[in-house]
Structure 1
Amino acid sequence: MYIFLLILLFLILLTFFYSIFRAISWVPMQSKDLERFLKLANIQAGQKVYDLGCGDGKLLFTAARQGAKAKGFEISLLPYAIAKVRQLFNKTKITIKFRDFWWVDLSEADVVFFFLIPRIYPKLKKKLQKELKPGTKVIAYVWPFEDWQPDQIDKVQNRRTIYLYIIK
């Protein structure tokens, strides 16, 4: 049993540090911002919403309740496990993959959301512009792209800023 716990702890730490290296450590989206996201995204029933680094899946469940086909990708074991447990006890249908989003084809998405660190934005912007179809909404939580003008900014005092970009 002791060996199993050590292996589990090692895997959790390994995926945690890998996620920091690749994008960001898990910092949950503030619940108060979910409604702002929904308003900005203007999700329609049947649209495909992708969350890159979905953490505990909070945004996925919210989007799915609006009728979206919500799919999230997570590479850190602990938040992924939390999301999967939440999925077991939630009637809302979502898809959560233990996968690095860099290896995922995003072309079917109608809305792409992320809360990631800006140092990966140049590479991420290339991926988004290459794979997403015109009209796809890209929503960045907290940090904007330096060289990409947002189509809309949702800024509320004492709240985190949300940036909307639309693929041209």
Structure 2
Amino acid sequence: MLCREEWEKLPKYSMEEDSPEEFLAEFKEKHLGAWGIVQITAGTGLAVYAMWAGVLMPGFRKVPLRLQVPYLPASKKQVRNVMALLSGRHGNLVDLGSGDGRIVLEAHKHGFGPTVGYELNPWLVRLANFHAWRAGHYGKVSYRQEDLWKVDLTECKNVTVFLAPSVLSLLQEKMEAELPDDALVVAGRFPFTEWTPCRIEGDGVDRAWAYTMQAQRLPAGNAVLPVPKELKSPV
């Protein structure tokens, strides 16, 4: 069994880490033994994640191969970029393919509500609820094990997605059909290639794109970037 001194020397996992994989990699240099690993995963909340990562993997999702979305947690920069694009917005927020729930939790902290994450993988839903509980927000955010294709978006004001390009191209049709004109969609890692963003934050893999639904419904060629407030002529 690990003594207190050994425990305090070990790295501690939290949602602030860029990736659980990076955290787990740190233990490769430790000689903890099987029982030590059990203690660590139980004490840091990684037991559920380790089970999913080692056994279930993305193939757990019973969806066509081209629509499977590998789980890759959003980095701190990605979360900041998403929240920057949502700045000034309010009302409800839905995260489609919410993974471990960090976007939903951060949106709640920024005053959005209700905030709901839809995730098909039950282990990730449990992990998201664990993170909410540890952050003191359990019951204030919602994570639902549901197919994102069956989610009713007609009353959603803010939608976030971290999904693969093959999924975004199909999801675009659903959003155009269901979302209200005043809705804002924020995509991380990959953009909607047929939409024109109103704002972009970040660079490289941390980049995020914001889209207003009203602009996407304009005739082709008329969806343009809005003029920044500081450049508008005074009334």
Alignment TM-score, normalising by the size of structure 2: 0.61
Change (3 A) 1:65 1:19: farther
Given the alignment of the two structures, is residue 144 of structure 1 paired with residue 188 of structure 2, yes or no? no
Partner of 2:158: 111
- Give runs of aligned pairs for residues 32-71 of structure 1, distance below 5 A: 32-42=77-87, 44-45=89-90, 47-69=91-113, 70-71=115-116
Which of 118, 121, 124 pairs up with 1:76? 121
Moved beyond 2 Å, runs of 4+: 11-23, 87-92
Larger Rg: 2
Q: Given residue 135 of structure 1, which amino acid in structure 2 is its aligned partner? A: D
Shift of the 14–40 alpha-carbon distance from structure 1 to 2, 3 Å rule, reads closer
- The equivalent residue for 1:24 is 69
**Aligned-residue offset at 1:19:** 6.0
Which whole-Å deviations, capped at 9, do the CAs of 1:79-112 have from their partners, x for residues lacking one?
Answer: 2221122223332210100011100101221110
Structure 1: runs of 5+ lacking an equivalent: 1-7
Greater relative contact order, per chain length (Cα 8 Å cut-off, separation 6+): 1
CA contact (8 A) 2:84 2:201 kept: no
Ranges in structure 2 where 5+ consecutive residues have no aligned partner: 1-50, 215-235
Identical-pair percentage? 24
1:165 matched residue in structure 2:
211
Cα distance in structure 2, aligned partners of 1:132 and 1:124: 11
The whole-number CA distance in structure 2 between the counterparts of 1:33 and 1:98 is: 24
Aligned length: 158
RMSD: 2.3
Q: Does 1:153 align with 2:200?
A: yes
